Structure formats: C-alpha cells, structure tokens
Amino acid sequence: MQFVVSIPDPAFIPAALAGRADLLEIRLDLTGPISSEEAKTMFHDIPVPLILTVRSSSEGGMFRGSPKEWWDLLQPLLPHATYIDVEREFRDFAPVLRERGKKVIASYHTGSMPDGGALEAIREELSSYGDIPKIVVSPGSGDDVLTLLSFTLHAGKPIITSTMGARFSFARLMLPFFGSSFLFCHAGRPVAEGQVHILRAREILDPFL
C-alpha cells in the first residue's frame, strides 16, 4: 500500500513531501491549467511519482469541459507523470497514454453503493482499458462497508477502493489492509469529504505496515 497526497494547489507540495507521501496526485480540475514551462519548474525535482487527475463534476470534481479540454489540461504535464487518472467518459484516450508509457488508473466514483456483483462488473469494465481500477463508492450502512471490504479482499489485484463522504470515512483507513493499493490523503486542504491528513494517516497505519 502506498500513501498518495492529493494536491489542489502546488503550494501544498512541500507539506506533502514532508509527510512522506509515496505519490502526489495533481488535481488539475482544482489547480487550473499549468503550462509546460511552469511544469518544468514545479516538478523537475519532485522525488516521487505523479498522478495527473482531471476529476469531472459528474464524479465529484470541478471539471465540466469536453474531452478535448480534458486532454488539453493534461498534455503539458505528461512528461512528468507516471500515472493518469482516466474516468470512463475519457477512456478513448487510454490507448495513446499507454503508448506514451503512462500507467492508467481507470476510475469510477459514485454517490451510490453497488452490490458485490455490480462492483465486480465495474472492476472488469475498468480493467478493460486501465492498468489499475479505482472504485470509490458511498456506503449507506455498516453492511455496505463490509461489502466493500469483502470485495476489495477478493478482487483481482491491483485495485484501489475508497469511500465518498464523511460518515464512513474510517473505511478509507481499513481498505489498505484488505488489498487497496493506494490511500489518498491531503496535506492541508482535503479535495474530498472524509479525506485524512497524510500525517494522521501515517500515525495510524505506519505501526501496522
């Protein structure tokens, strides 16, 4: 399991690195456009891999543009990235990203709680175009949390699972023990409700890892 810090503003990069993030997720739907020249200055000496994410409004982010606008936000930063988050709406870009040597995190975020069979069907669909499926759901009960934990345990690996919302945010810290590859944290400004600070996450989890 690796600790990822979501970056809504480049000002949070030093705090993320101080918190010993294993990866940084650059949330381009929140930072806004970053030029290739800015990227060279900003990322040339970053010692950890970068994930580029343009989260759409339909999946909890701020991006409301077209696929072309999505691609235009990513392009200047591609030379610096290891992973690209690709929602199903933008899956047609996955082949060219993989041709360029990028790993695709195929992501799906929902305000509902699919059952076990539906979760597996989603995983299979995401795996058809991505290297790592990422499934983020919204549990409505303790039983839903157990369903997510069981799915994560038995799903094909690698996989990333997480939750939306504050009510069952504790499940974020449990899922790595059941096989989720990445834990998404913040370094001073959460990008999603329920996200845990990197220092707090490490304080809780490091003794068990």
DSSP string, 137-183: E---SHHHHHHHHHHHHHS-SSBEEEE-SSTTTHHHHHGGGGTBSEE
Q: Is 40 a catalytic residue?
A: no
Calculate the alpha carbon distances from 193 to 42, 128, 164, 183 in Å: 27, 29, 7, 14
Q: Which residue in 80, 109, 157, 197 is the catalytic one?
A: 109
Handedness of CA 77, 195, 174, 202 (dihedral sign): positive
Q: Which residue in 134, 154, 157, 186 is the catalytic one?
A: 134
Six token digits for residue 51 = 């994930």
Distance CA 192, CA 30 (A): 12
Q: Is 102 a catalytic residue?
A: no
Residues classed as catalytic: 109, 134
